[in-house]
Structure 1
């Protein structure tokens, strides 16, 4: 059965560039469909082999509205190709690229700081940008203050900004984040290191002229030990100003254990909590049960197993009934699994094992 060109183009839009190249050669009808703007609205480009972009597709990159750029950092040629793709999508599209996600694969060269990519991105965006989404969670190097200030000034239409990547340290201070909020008045989704936050940043987010903050992703790692803790009162004020705020907390294994209680303030409207500390988390599980029972929807734990943990998880399951996902990467008892299935009616998937399995552990889907 022949599909209408619009539907076929929509299907093609989800293919990565390599598969779009293959689809282009199947038949004349598919070849014509590949020039339809909808085929390029959502496009993933992978720069992993050092090969240049197929010439016939260079002219179509300006049609891209949502670009996911994946590149290997091991070869400078891959980074050069990635920047070339981005330049064509931004400049050739006359600033109509709306969403950009950059993801780096493979091990970066020793001491690689990503300066070429950061400066290249700034140079490209100087040509004009209407980006509303910028996602840099997939880059492994430290994002610095100068880069974030430049990007925020060049992309004033940003609504979503993710800079909570998995670099070893936080390179963005609170004043830089405040400057980004001034430059991007429409930001409603923000992903940052918690070390970049301050009471002044949260107060800026509560200004009456700012739109409702929809989501706040916070990565908590060792840099937090150098910053003043945020008190529960300021979080209570944030929750009143933004009653529908979704907060995602990720506690990294580099976060000193003594700082964990200071992060888990009771008034934070936590919907998603990832405790990836590999430390004993009995007190934290009890705290989560008391503080986040009315909001928590996703819970992930990496902790040693124990009978006490099983008891704490059973108690948590009875309180946090809004949970949709729970993932515990240690062996638990059958009683724990039964408790979550019984008391959490919205549970759609879980990773709970009564025996050790080879890595990676499989997730059980209920819905």
Structure 2
């Protein structure tokens, strides 16, 4: 059987007609109609079936050339040869040729009324990809969807670096057009899930307010973009809680939350004149370097939140730049945070923090992820760190997944498996004998991250 590399070098649609004729000659005359009808059926399904358009995963990849092989190739899925395009155009050209992505555009244009799930991955560093992305987003705006749309789940994710930290205002504007479609009068047209966590640009209040105004039936909303600084204001988050009566799952940055946010959740509905049709089940909080300028945490408010929402689960995600004193502050047992998932991104050892988490979240903690950086992996690989991990596994009786990218002692791993045998199952844990750090911090990035 041919390997994937061999198929990539010689895709069947690049074979000359003479070769295909030779292959088909092995079929008897009575066998050929079956092949013909099969190909017609596949063609009709791919080309004309609205049911196939219910779920659309779009991948916009940049075009690249290998230095040795002059044949233009594309990262990701293989496109037919006739739509490939080498990247040999002058960089000063302003006209963008969208033809390499013409099939994607035409397909979505034809079935835009049928799409229910739309996931877009884009290499945003490439100007052509950004142009096509904006075209696709505006395709689902109010002007071009005058006959209606029914997208229920939407995700936009950038899958390449953002070297110049571009604001990509054109993408933000296209997102606003996408969100301007008014689904407030028809529940079947409103977004239910919206995931914007894959963006490397900053979401602003105007964009988010446009989203929630026109999609009041949202149940899941992830606003934890990958920009260096969150610019969403507490007012915006308050509007989300006020307008989305069916919200069950929200992911935000701690810097955007305020005491009023918790008060709005815990106060009686009669006093607030708010009637919530569903209960908040999950709150995802990310804490980064902005927290070093924050006020003290109001312990009583968080305790009230826990009393009002006894079934609430919290994800605590500490960014790479979070000061250690703020990590310890949010692990204070007096807060009574029902933390189900703990994510610690750290460039330095977190022995005390793991022990504190074990004591504070022992009854609720189910998922633990510790991600380190390559420069400091050796500092983390200590006997004290191994003991802290064992203590965490011992105290957290409901532990379901444990991911640690620093090398552990062999006897440490075995002891953890004895405490939680299910962690031996594929995907349940990442316990290594050699370092495999997640983050690599370049010297030129030190100022941006820790400045």
> TM-score with structure 2 length normalisation?
0.69
1:53 maps to 2:98 = no
Indicate if the aligned counterparts of 2:122 and 2:129 stay in contact, CA closer than 8 A.
yes
Q: State the match for 2:407 in structure 1.
A: 331
Aligned-partner Cα distance in 2 for 1:168–1:255? 12
1:43 maps to 2:94 = no
Query: What secondary structure is seen at the aligned counterpart in 2 of 1:213?
Result: coil
Query: What secondary structure is seen at the aligned counterpart in 2 of 1:78?
Result: helix
1:213 Cα deviation (Å)? Answer: 0.8
Aligned-partner Cα distance in 1 for 2:204–2:38? 45
Query: What secondary structure is seen at the aligned counterpart in 2 of 1:352?
Result: strand
Indicate if the aligned counterparts of 1:239 and 1:268 stay in contact, CA closer than 8 A.
yes
Q: Which stretch has the larger CA shift, 87-96 or 100-109? A: 87-96
Please identify the structure whose Cα radius of gyration is greater.
Answer: 2
Indicate if the aligned counterparts of 2:222 and 2:250 stay in contact, CA closer than 8 A.
yes
Q: How does 1:212-291 map to 2 (within 5 A)?
A: 212-266=279-333, 267-291=336-360
Q: How does 1:1-367 map to 2 (within 5 A)?
A: 27-34=39-46, 35-49=48-62, 51-54=100-103, 56-57=106-107, 58-89=109-140, 91-92=144-145, 94-108=148-162, 110-129=164-183, 130-207=190-267, 208=269, 209-210=275-276, 211-266=278-333, 267-302=336-371, 304-347=380-423, 348=425, 349-356=428-435
1:258 Cα deviation (Å)? Answer: 2.0
1:97 Cα deviation (Å)? Answer: 0.8
Specify every segment of 5 or more residues in structure 1 that has no aligned partner in the other structure, as ranges.
1-24, 361-367
Indicate if the aligned counterparts of 2:246 and 2:279 stay in contact, CA closer than 8 A.
no
Indicate if the aligned counterparts of 1:158 and 1:186 stay in contact, CA closer than 8 A.
yes
1:227 Cα deviation (Å)? Answer: 2.2
1:278 Cα deviation (Å)? Answer: 2.1
Indicate if the aligned counterparts of 2:339 and 2:361 stay in contact, CA closer than 8 A.
yes
How many residues are aligned here? 336
Indicate if the aligned counterparts of 1:95 and 1:128 stay in contact, CA closer than 8 A.
no
Relative distance call for 1:89 and 1:27 in structure 2 (3 A) is: farther
- Structure 1 runs (4+) deviating above 4 angstroms are 357-360
Relative distance call for 1:123 and 1:357 in structure 2 (3 A) is: closer
Indicate if the aligned counterparts of 2:138 and 2:174 stay in contact, CA closer than 8 A.
no
Query: What secondary structure is seen at the aligned counterpart in 1 of 2:171?
Result: helix
Aligned-partner Cα distance in 2 for 1:301–1:330? 8
1:289 Cα deviation (Å)? Answer: 1.1
